[in-house]
Amino acid sequence: MKFAYPFTTDEAPELSQVGGKGMSLIFMTRRGLPVPPGFVLSVAFFEPWLEYVKRTPEWKKVLNSSPEDLGQNSATLKTLCMHLELDDMHKGVLAQALEHLKAGDGTPLFAVRSSSPEEDLEELSFAGGYETTLGVREEALEEALRRSFASCFDERVFLYKQEHGLAVDQPRIAVVVQKQIAAQTAGVAFSLNPVNNCYDEAVINANFGLGESVVSGVVSPDSFVVDKVSRIILERKTGKKETSVWLAPDGGTYEEPSPARSDACLSDEEVLSLTGMLVQVEDYTGKPVDVEWAFAYGKLYLLQARPITAYFPLPEDLLTAPGEPKRLYGDLTLVKWGMQEPLSVMGTDYLVIVNSETLKATMGDIGPDVISKVRPTLAGRTYVNVSYTLKLRGKKGLVDFWRPMDALGAETIASIDETEYTLKTLPPALKGLVFKMIRQNLGLIGSVLQALRKPAEFKHRYFDEEERLRKDLKKAETEKGLSLAEFATRTLARMVAYATVFGAGMAAAELGRSRINKLFKDEQPEIRDQVVYLGRALPNNITIEMGLAMVRLAGFREIAACASGEVFASRLKERSFSVEFLDAWDAFMEEYGFRGPMEMDVAAPRFYEQPVLFFEQLRTMAISSPAEHSPQAIFDQARAQREKAYEDLLHVARRKGKRKAKQFEKNYSILVELGGLRERPKYFVSLVTDMFRKRVLAAAQPFLDADRLDSPEQVFDLHMDDFERGMADPSLDLRALAEKNTRFPKKLRQFHELPRIIDSRGKILRPPKKEAVEGELVGEPISPGIVRGKIKVLDEPDEKPVLPGEILVARATDPGWTPLFLNAGGIILEIGGMLQHGALVAREYGKPCVAGIERATLVLNDGQLVEMDGANGTVRFI
C-alpha cells in the first residue's frame, strides 16, 4: 500500500486512500490549473495511529457516549491523539515527500489540511469539521499532522456522520501537505449563486491576506456576483473586512486590521480572471464547485476545489444551455397538491399518466410531446411550464390563474421581467391551443350553464355520475392481462370520462362565488369580510365528512381502552372489539381507507395498511376537551356563521334592489349546492391510485419470492418499464435498477424547501419582501377568525400530534393532513392560496387560516404563543 502521492503523480490513487480533497488537487494539477505543489499522505499512512486509537478505552467511551457526554469524550480522545509519534519508517516517507517541495526553496512553509475519504464529496461536505494548519515549518509538521488526524474524532464529525447515516466506528483520514502561498488577497468562490441557486452566476468572497478569515467567517468580506456567460460583474459589495490573516515569515499566522477597508480588495480584472478559473474547474468536474483561491504577487492560485452539496439540482430535461432563452417552471406538485416530498419512481410514472389523461380531457389529444412541454413530470415532481402560459395568457392572466393556488407564487410571477421568460413564438404543437381547448370543452360549457340554472338538479346528476363511476371502477379491478401502464391508463381514462360533470360543478360554484364577491366589492370592509363566511361548512365536502367520521370513530370506548397502537392493531386483527365499533371501522375503511398522506403517490401507504398510526391519530382526537370545542361543534358553529352571514348579506343586497337580491340568492344557492363538491375528484384520484397500488403489490410477489427485492415497497423504486422487463427477464438486477432510479429523488429529499418557482438555469425566484410590523408576520388572509394558541410545527403529518387549540404550522398540506386540522385552533401555511387544499379544509371547518408566510416552518417554533387573524392575514407574537 502506498503511503504518499505527490499532486503530480502519474498513478490513479483510489478515493478511499487520498480522500476527496486530495483526489481533487491531484486531478486539478493534471489539468494544468495553478495548484501550489504538494502531496497527500494516504489513509494507509495513518493506519498505525488508527489501530492504536481503536484499542484505547477513550475510543470505547466515545462510541458509547450519550449526546450530553460526546463533546467531552471526543475532546479527551483528541488530546490523546496529540501524543502520537511517527515511527522511523513513516518519518522517512514524510521526509522523502518533502524533498520535492523544498527544491529551490530552502525554508518553505506548508499548509496542512485533512482529506477524509468521506469529505468534499458531491453528497457530503463535512465543512468545518476537520482541522487545517497554515504556515507550518518543517520541524512543526508532525504536530500539524497530529492535529489534522485528531480532528477526525471531533464531536462535529461524529454528529455529521450520524445525521447522514455514516458509520461512526470506522474513522479514516488522509492529510494534504501543500506549499503555503503568502497571499495578498484570498477567499472562496462558488460556481453557482448559493443565494438564488442560479447556475449562471458565480459568487466570490474576498479579503486581504490569507483566505482563513473568509473561510472561518470572522469578517464581512468583499462580495462579487458575476454572470459566467457574459462575464459581466452584476454586483459589487465592499465588506467591512474587519481584520485579515497574514503569513508570518518564520511560520504561523498573525492577524491585524485590514488595510484600505473602504476599497475593494480585487480589481475587476482579477474578478474576471478568477471567474475564468472557476468555470474551468466546473467544466472539468462536470458539477457546481466551490474553490479556495489566492492571489500572490499578481499570480492566481487554486488551493482547494470541492463539489457544492447544498444546491437544488434541476432535472436535465428541464435545463436550457447557458445563454439560450430561459424557461420558467412552477412546481404544481407543491402548490396545487400540497406534496413536499418527491414522489416515488413508479409514482412519477403514474403521475405522468394522470397528467396525460387530465390534459387530454381539457385540451384534446395533443400528444405526449406537447404534454411533456406543457406539464413536464419527472424526478418525483410535476412542473407547469410558466413560459408557455405567459405567452398564452400574459402576465396578469397568469398571476390571476396562480393566486388561488399559491399567493406568494403569484406575487413572485408578478415581479418577474416578462422579457426574460416569455417565449417569442409558441412551438408549432402549441399553436392554436386556445381554440383546441374551446372546442374540446364545449360539452363542459353546456354542463356549467345547466349547473348555474338548476344547481340542485345538477347536484343529483353529479351523484348519479359518481355512482356510475364507482361501478365502472369495480369492473376495472377485475380486468386481467394488462401491463401496469395499460391498467393505469384504462382506470384513469374511466375516471376522466366523468370530468365534464365534475368540472362543471366546480366551475359553477367558483363562478357563483366570484359573482357574490363582485356584488359586494364596493361595500365596507366589515361587509366584505362577511362574504368569506359564505364558504364555510358547505355540505358534501367529502374530505370534511372523512374528518368528522374519524371524530365519531375516536369517540368509541375501544380507542380510550387500548394502551398502544400495537395492542389496538392486534385486537383489530383478532376482531375482538364490539360489533358496533367493528361495523363503524369497516364502514370507514370501505369509504375512506384508501386515503392518507401523499395519497397521490402509489408508494404511499394508506389508512387501511397502517392501523397503528391511524389509531394514534384517533387517540389524539379523543383527548378530552370541552364539548363546545369538539370538531363537530366547531363545524356546526361554522355552518351557523355561514347562515347568519347569508341573512346579513341578503339584507344588504335587498337595499341594492330586488334584482341584486335575487342574484345574490341564486348565486348563494349555487355555492351551497355545488361548492362542497370540489374535493370529490381528488377523492376518486386517490381511489384509482390505490387500485393501482394493490395491483402492483400483488404482481410484485414473485419478485419477493425469488429474493429479487428487499421489501414489497422497493417495487415502487422501479419504473413501470423496469417492472415489465423484470417479469420477462429473471436475470435482470432489480435492486441495482432501484438504487439507480432513486439517486436523484434522494438528492431532492435533502431539501427542507423545494422551490415553488424556478427557471431552466436553476434560479429560484422568490416574492418581493413584505414590510412587516415588529413582532408580526404577514401573509395571505384565507379563512377569517381570530385565535390565540401555541405553535405546533410539522414537516410531516405523522411527525407528532396536534393537541386541541394548537396552531398547526406546515409548508403545505394534502388530504392526509385532514385529521390534524380537527384539533388545530388555526392553520398557518407557507404555500397556499384561496383554493389550495389546506385553505379549503380550513374554511370548511371554520378554522382561521393564513397562508403565504415564507419560511413559516423555520421562523415559528413549537410552544410559541401567537395570535392569528385569518381575516387580515397576520400572525402576532404574544
164 pLDDT tier (thresholds 50, 70, 90) = low
Do 423 and 371 fall into the same domain?
yes
Is-contact 833 406, C-beta < 8 A?
yes
Tell me: pLDDT of 424 over 90. no
Do 48 and 169 fall into the same domain?
yes
Do 737 and 793 fall into the same domain?
no
Do 743 and 805 fall into the same domain?
no
Locate 436 and state its grid cell: 383546441
Do 30 and 137 fall into the same domain?
yes
Is-contact 330 757, C-beta < 8 A?
yes
Question: 175 pairs with which residues across the strands?
Answer: 41, 114
- What is the rounded CA–CA span in Å between residue 352 and residue 437? 20
DSSP letter at 344 equals P
Tell me: pLDDT of 843 over 80. no
* pLDDT value of position 775: 84
State the average pLDDT over residues 416-441: 77
Tell me: pLDDT of 308 over 90. no
DSSP-derived 3-state class of residue 763: coil
- What is the rounded CA–CA span in Å between residue 18 and residue 609? 48
* pLDDT value of position 757: 93
How many Cβ atoms from other residues are within 10 Å of residue 549's Cβ?
A: 15
- What is the rounded CA–CA span in Å between residue 476 and residue 628? 45
State the average pLDDT over residues 529-552: 88
Q: Is residue 665 part of a domain?
A: no
* pLDDT value of position 90: 94
- What is the rounded CA–CA span in Å between residue 370 and residue 43? 53
* pLDDT value of position 106: 63
- What is the rounded CA–CA span in Å between residue 853 and residue 725? 46
Do 4 and 120 fall into the same domain?
yes
129-143, 173-187, 268-282, 619-633, range with the lowest pLDDT: 619-633
State the average pLDDT over residues 744-760: 86
How many Cβ atoms from other residues are within 10 Å of residue 858's Cβ?
A: 13
Q: Is residue 640 part of a domain?
A: no
Do 50 and 172 fall into the same domain?
yes
Number of domains forming the structure of the chain: 4
* pLDDT value of position 117: 80
- What is the rounded CA–CA span in Å between residue 336 and residue 682? 11
Q: Is residue 459 part of a domain?
A: no
- What is the rounded CA–CA span in Å between residue 132 and residue 253? 12
* pLDDT value of position 864: 93
Q: At what angle do helices 345-363 and 484-496 cross, to 10 degrees?
A: 40
Locate 675 and state its grid cell: 361548492
Which span out of 483-497, 777-791, 811-825 was modeled with the highest average pLDDT?
483-497
* pLDDT value of position 629: 61
834 pLDDT tier (thresholds 50, 70, 90) = low
| Domain stops at, among 180, 204, 219 | 180
How many Cβ atoms from other residues are within 10 Å of residue 612's Cβ?
A: 14
* pLDDT value of position 439: 74
State the average pLDDT over residues 750-763: 88
Tell me: pLDDT of 478 over 90. no
DSSP letter at 311 equals S
DSSP letter at 310 equals S
> What is the identity of the amino acid at 506?
M
Do 22 and 65 fall into the same domain?
yes
| Domain stops at, among 138, 154, 180 | 180
DSSP letter at 850 equals E
Do 849 and 709 fall into the same domain?
no
Is-contact 838 827, C-beta < 8 A?
yes
| CATH code where residue 811 lies | 3.50.30.10
Tens of pLDDT, residues 231-252: 999 999 998 888 899 999 888 9
State the average pLDDT over residues 397-421: 89
| CATH code where residue 51 lies | 3.30.1490.20
Backbone dihedral angles phi then psi of residue 301, each to the nearest 5 degrees: -125, 145
Locate 131 and state its grid cell: 482541522
Q: Show the beta-strand stretches assigned E in 299-405.
A: 299-307, 328-331, 377-378, 381-385
Q: Is residue 820 part of a domain?
A: yes
766 pLDDT tier (thresholds 50, 70, 90) = confident
- What is the rounded CA–CA span in Å between residue 401 and residue 686? 25
Burial zone of 454 (CB within 10 Å; 0-12 exposed, 13-18 middle, 19+ buried): middle
> Read out DSSP for 435-492?
HHHHHHTHHHHHHHHHHHH-HHHHHHHHHHHHHHHHHHHHHHHT--S--HHHHHHHHH
Tens of pLDDT, residues 88-99: 999 999 999 998
Do 12 and 93 fall into the same domain?
yes
* pLDDT value of position 162: 76
In 322-346, which positions are buried (b, 16+ CB within 10 angstroms) versus exposed (e)? Answer: eeeebbbbbbbbbbbbbbbbbbbbb
Tens of pLDDT, residues 340-359: 889 999 999 999 999 888 88
Q: Is residue 312 part of a domain?
A: no
Tell me: pLDDT of 563 over 50. yes
- What is the rounded CA–CA span in Å between residue 831 and residue 838? 9
Q: Chain-wide mean pLDDT for the chain?
A: 88
Sign of the four-CA dihedral 840, 844, 850, 856: negative
368 or 599: which carries more pLDDT confidence?
599
Backbone dihedral angles phi then psi of residue 292, each to the nearest 5 degrees: -105, 140
> Read out DSSP for 113-142?
EE--TTSS-SS---TTTS-EEEEE-GGGHH
3-state helix vs strand vs coil in the chain, percent to 5: 50, 15, 35
Which span out of 135-144, 371-380, 444-453, 817-826 was modeled with the highest average pLDDT?
135-144
599, HSE (Cβ side, Cα atoms, 13 Å): 27
* pLDDT value of position 104: 61
* pLDDT value of position 833: 67
Do 730 and 860 fall into the same domain?
no
Locate 497 and state its grid cell: 370520462
The range of the structural domain enclosing residue 39 comes to: 1-180
* pLDDT value of position 625: 54
Residue whose C-alpha is closest to residue 541's, from 341, 848, 837: 837
- What is the rounded CA–CA span in Å between residue 134 and residue 103? 20
Which span out of 273-282, 302-311, 396-405 was modeled with the highest average pLDDT?
273-282
Q: Which residue carries 503511503 as its cell?
A: 3
Tell me: pLDDT of 624 over 60. no
626 or 595: which carries more pLDDT confidence?
595
- What is the rounded CA–CA span in Å between residue 753 and residue 286? 25
Tens of pLDDT, residues 7-37: 999 998 998 899 988 999 999 999 999 999 9
- What is the rounded CA–CA span in Å between residue 594 and residue 609? 9
Tell me: pLDDT of 407 over 50. yes
Q: Is residue 94 part of a domain?
A: yes
* The dihedral formed by the CA atoms of 4, 7, 12 and 18, expressed in degrees to the nearest 10: 50
State the average pLDDT over residues 256-271: 88
Is-contact 491 687, C-beta < 8 A?
no
- What is the rounded CA–CA span in Å between residue 204 and residue 188? 6
Residue whose C-alpha is closest to residue 674's, from 530, 787, 559, 509: 509
Percent of the chain scoring above 90 in pLDDT? 54
Tens of pLDDT, residues 125-155: 444 457 889 999 999 999 999 999 998 888 8
* pLDDT value of position 851: 85
DSSP-derived 3-state class of residue 15: helix
Q: In what order do the strands lie in the sheet with 377-378?
A: 377-378, 381-385, 328-331, 757-759
* pLDDT value of position 120: 44
Tell me: pLDDT of 124 over 70. no
DSSP-derived 3-state class of residue 363: helix
pTM for this prediction = 0.82
Tell me: pLDDT of 166 over 80. no
- What is the rounded CA–CA span in Å between residue 158 and residue 155? 5
State the average pLDDT over residues 652-663: 92
Q: Is residue 227 part of a domain?
A: no
| Domain stops at, among 165, 180, 195 | 180
Q: Is residue 705 part of a domain?
A: yes
Do 153 and 35 fall into the same domain?
yes
Tell me: pLDDT of 121 over 60. no
